[in-house]
Structure 1
């Protein structure tokens, strides 16, 4: 065959191959349509921590349009159709009793800086209304979640201050106990329980978070804490980045009985993409993540499911979900598994919007309730890095035990607040 004819054949074959490769995947087409109608709201992204690790939060030294050492940058956000993101203000447990509050404030600050530096991409958000507004403007609503109760240094005043700075959820623990709550490692047997769940101050904190309108995040806590909070919180809870324990029996995941309780109380479980929590191994595929979505839907319904990728906070991600840009593929996979349009839209963002709106309604219903100004007993937080100013029978160099009357007041106040929280 003449060379020109051979070339023509190759050209035809190439055109056919290109046509086949570029043929639209009907599930992806449908996924992108749904994502244009409902914001994808992700519960947890650790880009702020990467900005600290790689640049010490010096945003002048980085361009999020070209950054290529993270799972998240602006082009990936656009390709991934990210409608709203809870950016994690995370600092390690090593900072507990030291400079955790300062470091957390710096992480909150860097999220504000991101929004100020890239206003065409990010809109700072603190409410359900802000999320819908940002989505209508084709911007990514940027909310803040503080990951770890050690970040507030056992201070309700610090909690309130962070709320005023825009923080809209607190993960009660990370991977260490606080003076008022047990972390998930207790359930592995690798750490002892200190509180059998929550201490009395921990229960005070739940009441105050309800009053503020701050989402309670139960990722990283023990099952005992999960149950206590689900029983007492007037507002629905979130798991910002946790998966299904039955699919992968890692203690960071959520057992079936808790999934059902989350359904009963109107909360949400936002599925984590970390391989170790997806397959309990170092490797995973996109389909394995979809298995968690399917299981949660089967056990407790599509009304409690969300996305909580944990991008830039983990070292291993499933094949097909390597960065933020890939999330539409997971949406298409759910559609391929016969999820309805409404179920997908619920998981994309409607479930989280419902939870946030309900939390805001609880806040508004409690607007006549005074801020809780009863401090944690000094004996529960006494350490070499903490002063004792304001506590009775103590001074800055020698901290004694708290006054018995203060202890009685603590017990009475905690009981009254629990009754308020449990009242219809």
Structure 2
């Protein structure tokens, strides 16, 4: 029996931007390609636009280049782009879909008109910062642990107005709580697309219990991620180690908020048995050893799907 999957984070576009001869249909250099998506039964993959430091200062042209790569290599291979809430009802379960997120606001160059263009080009999620500071906010590894700049607060409001969903993976702790306040006021839930539980593995990229509870209370989502350093502090990492994070998030009330965000193609170390997207069935088998099938389906697919059905923007009617 097949189990559908929604994966909320991969960096395949960045790899293809750096190496133009990578083929999306099948390429051993990619953790996520068309063949591996089919083998893993991934019905929706969120493709992050991450601008590598190897390209120098992030520019909006870099963002547009990855959007072009998404269209020319991913969509042309048969993956359908997902833009609107209404598309969730159009045979969503019978096709393979792709959705765009922007990892780090750096490439928007503090220009909110660029944000609007990015939205028009299909970007539906925004991770405000990567690990360090940018014009909008501090990342989790920025030593001063600052929050949002004034322009960054304008960015939050603009995203809420457009329908771009915010992502707190990589955001500083202070920034997290500033966003939580504004999101509560606006009734706009946010996600952590690829973050684990700090209580289980005390890596700064992981979420503290109060952060997990805040995401849950807002109706957001938390994507358990596969980077070994976020799963276990030392030693080899195996599939059962992921279950400790799942257990902990659920113990805080997150049964309906948990999903997966692999970070494939953004990592160079792997959980044993989860080396690429094709290995998702191994995770399914491990989960089914310990949890009811209905619960496993919810974590793999249902929780993420339900969130998208509510919070993706609706297509605006034209006169």
With normalisation by structure 2, the TM-score equals: 0.91
Partner of 1:216: 166
Aligned residue for 2:236?
Answer: 283
The equivalent residue for 1:341 is 293
1:359 correspondence with 2:311: yes
Equivalent position SS for 1:85: strand
1:324-351 CA distance string (max 9 Å, x none): 011122122222112x333222212222
* TM-score, L = length of structure 1: 0.69
Alignment pair present for 1:167 and 2:123: yes
Q: Residue by residue, what CA displacement relative to the aligned partner does 1:310-365 show, whole Å, maximum 9, x if unpaired?
A: 00110001101011011122122222112x3332222122222332333347x79x
Find out whether 1:297 has 2:250 as its counterpart.
Answer: yes
Q: Give the 3 Å change call, closer, same or farther, for CA 108–65 of structure 1 in structure 2.
A: closer
Q: Is the 8 A contact 2:128 2:136 kept in 1?
A: no
User: Is 2:88 the partner of 1:88?
Assistant: no
Structure 1 pair 302–320 and aligned structure 2 pair: CA distance change class (3 A): same
2:223 corresponding residue in structure 1: 270
Task: Note the residue ranges of structure 2 that are not aligned, 5 or more in a row.
Answer: none
Does the CA contact (< 8 Å) of 2:124 and 2:312 recur in 1? Answer: no
State the partner residue of 2:8.
43
1:364-412 Cα deviation digits (max 9, x unpaired): 9xx9xxxxxxxxxxxxxxxxxxxxxxxxxxxxxxxxxxxxxxxxxxxxx
- Report whether the alignment pairs 1:247 with 2:212: no
Further displaced range: 306-315 or 350-359: 350-359
- Would the alpha carbon gap of residues 358 and 332 (structure 1) be closer, same or farther in structure 2, given more than 3 Å must change? same
Q: Aligned match of 1:235 in 188, 195, 205?
A: 188
SS in 1 for 2:252: helix
Q: Retained in 2: the 8 A contact 1:259–1:300?
A: no
CA spacing shift, 1:136–1:93, aligned 2, 3 Å: same
| 2:26 is the alignment partner of 1:66 | yes
Does 2:62 match 1:103? yes
Per the alignment, in what secondary structure is the counterpart of residue 302 of structure 1? coil
Say which SS state the counterpart of residue 265 (structure 2) adopts: coil
> Could you say which residue in structure 1 is the equivalent of 2:108?
152
How big is the alpha-carbon RMSD for the aligned residues of Structure 1 and Structure 2? Answer: 2.1
Q: Aligned runs of 1:327-338 on 2, under 5 Å?
A: 327-338=280-291
Return structure 1 stretches of 4+ with deviation > 4 angstroms: 93-96
Q: 1:114-153 counterparts in 2 under 5 A? A: 114-119=73-78, 122-131=79-88, 133=90, 135-137=92-94, 139-153=95-109
Distance 1:349 1:133 in 2: 17
Higher Cα Rg, which structure: 1
The answer (yes or no) to whether the contact 2:58–2:106 under 8 Å persists in 1 is no
From the superposition, tell whether residues 88 and 201 of structure 1 become closer, same or farther in structure 2 (CA, over 3 Å): same
